[in-house]
Structure 1
Amino acid sequence: MPLVSVIMSVFNVKKYEYLLNSVNSILNQTYKNFEFIICDDKSTDNTLQVLKEIAKKDNRIKIISNKQNMGLGASLNHCLKFARGKYIARMDDDDFSKKERLEKEVNFLDKHPEYSFVGTIANVFDKNKIWGTFRLPEKPQKSDFLWNSPFLNPSMMFRADALKAVHGFRVTKETRRAEDYDLFFRLYAKGYKGYNIQEILFNYRIDIENEKHKKYRPMKDRINEAKVRYGGFKALHLGYRSIPYVIKPIIIGLIPAPIFYEIRKKQYR
């Protein structure tokens, strides 16, 4: 029985090289007692066929598929139905994990029962190079949720019991692009706590040059995030001080693209 279940959702992979690098970064981990569950979210290209070929490389890989396109949160919940591990680790199809990531996260959760999930800080990279660092607080408090989520979702490892207690990812229109933020809100509201290992164990892809000419996310997604923030801040009893942070994603969406591009670059320097 695997101790860790790694879950990933895939839809119409942009570059198969990215997918292969991501999968291999898990298969090459120093920690070996895991299963790797990958859900194809009803891709309309040949992604599912590619995944089936990848699965032939290692019997720890299990490919499942949705009957219709469901989105990230629903696809991850589908993975959870098949997961047998005590711990659930996340992975995205265009990032990659350092080889010690799973081992260090398992060791942390084994030694620290007071924490229900653990993540890591990360390099920020694009097709050219590593260009920044994704920094996160070591022991996030409720107030750390105000500006942004204090956790990097694809770097996380959860106790399966904690995920089950909050019924996994919430699947609604509002959470479609903020399912991770919403999940962390609900975990903290239930009394669960998370930790960020202050070591770079993950490489997180942000193609910064793409943001010179377009917004990071459309306004409708920013409005939905504001709704998630409102509910999350209320659940954490953050009070009136949270009001400016509710509308933060909408305000950022009004910033001209060139200025937003410069802000994003400086954010991770």
Structure 2
Amino acid sequence: MSVYNCKDFSALKRSILSIVNQTFSDWEFIIYNDGSKDNGKTTQFLKDIKKLDKRIRIIDNPDNHGLAYAKNQMIKAASGKYITAQDDDDVSMEERLSKEVEFLDQHSEYAFVGTVATVFDHAGTWGHYDLEEKPTKNTFLWNSPFLHPSVMFRKEVLDVVGGYRVSWETMRAEDYDLFMRLYSLGYKGYNIQEDLYKYRIENNPNKKYRPMRSRLQEAKVRWQGFKKLGILAKGMPYVAKPVLIGLIPQKIFYLIKKSRY
């Protein structure tokens, strides 16, 4: 888990406790403080939270380098054979880790496994995150076919591809980029069709979802990824998708988003 200038410490604690309280117990929990600059509030909170469980490890980095860099540092520090992450305001159901570990133990043909999820915000559950059970290369055309913070990887596979790619275009799409690079090398993923994860998305019609810069970054990631997958010809109309969606009026986009979940 990477944390930067935490805005909601109660949500962060709830997220951390959802890992501490897993039925699967053979884990280490690495929390990376990615150069928080909030007068020591996040740093002190993490010092206190470490006392909850001896399996929690805190890495304090004085400078902020972004998610891809932070995740690579945590992968290097990790000692387990499986790697999974969690966003700092999401929640894992108590059997999530046990079911993902069991799946990878029993299915060597898959390099990673994720799950479908319920979608919630401060007011409660408001939607569902549906995903294809066995994504193919073509599944990447519309969206990433995996919910990144729900995914558990074989560490050896992450090592093969060098982890997450740190660059301008992957600042908000490091997961999409990683999944396409893995598929381009012949690795495959699977989505367990159980709600083992609770994914936070604010259901607010007035909130701007993503700035145009992020959409341009994703467009470049799509172009590069589709090329690696050998689907660029059919994928060209989808390369521009994030930019075109960013041009839709906010209220209309809100209705589209609600229909998606």
Matches within 5 A, 1:224-239: 224-239=217-232
Work out the CA distance in 2 between the residues paired with 1:202 and 1:62. Answer: 22
Distance in 2 of aligned mates of 1:99 and 1:122: 13
2:173 corresponds to which residue? 178
The superposition leaves residues 1-60 of structure 1 with CA deviations (integer Å, 9 ceiling, x where unpaired) of xxxxxxx10001110011000000000000000000000001012101101100011000
Answer yes or no: is 1:254 the counterpart of 2:252: no
1:38 aligned partner, one-letter code: I
**Matched residue, 2:208:** 215
Match of residue 244 from structure 1: 237
**Taking structure 2 as the reference length, what is the TM-score of the superposition?**
0.98
Among 110, 119, 123, which residue is 2:118 paired with? Answer: 123
Equivalent residues in 2 for 1:1-269, closer than 5 Å: 8-45=1-38, 46-209=41-204, 212-268=205-261
Matching residue's letter, 1:239: L
Gaps of 5+ in 2: none
Aligned identity (percent) is 58
The answer as to whether partners of 2:36 and 2:62 remain within 8 angstroms in 1 is: no
- Give the CA RMSD over aligned residues: 0.7
**Structure 1 residue 175, shift from structure 2 partner:** 0.2
**Normalised TM-score (structure 1):** 0.95
Contact 1:97 1:203 in 2 (8 A): yes
In the alignment, is the contact (CA less than 8 A) between 1:55 and 1:61 conserved in 2?
yes
- Deviation per CA, 1:181-220, whole angstroms, max 9, x where unpaired? 00001111111100000000000000011xx224310001
What is the distance in 1 between the residues matched to 2:188 and 2:195?
21
Matched residue of 1:208: which SS? coil
Alpha-carbon separation, structure 1, partners of 2:232 and 2:88: 37
Moved more, 145-154 or 60-69: 60-69
- Structure 2 CA distance for aligned equivalents of residues 239 and 79 of structure 1: 33
Residues 175, 228 of structure 1: 8 Å contact kept: yes
* Matches of 1:126 and 1:105, distance apart in 2: 25
Change (3 A) 1:73 1:239: closer
- Return the offset for 1:241: 1.2
- Structure 1: where are the runs of 5+ without partners? 1-7
Q: Secondary structure at the match of 1:34?
A: coil
* More deviation, 212-221/223-232: 212-221
Separation (CA, whole Å) in 2 of partners of 1:52 and 1:214: 33
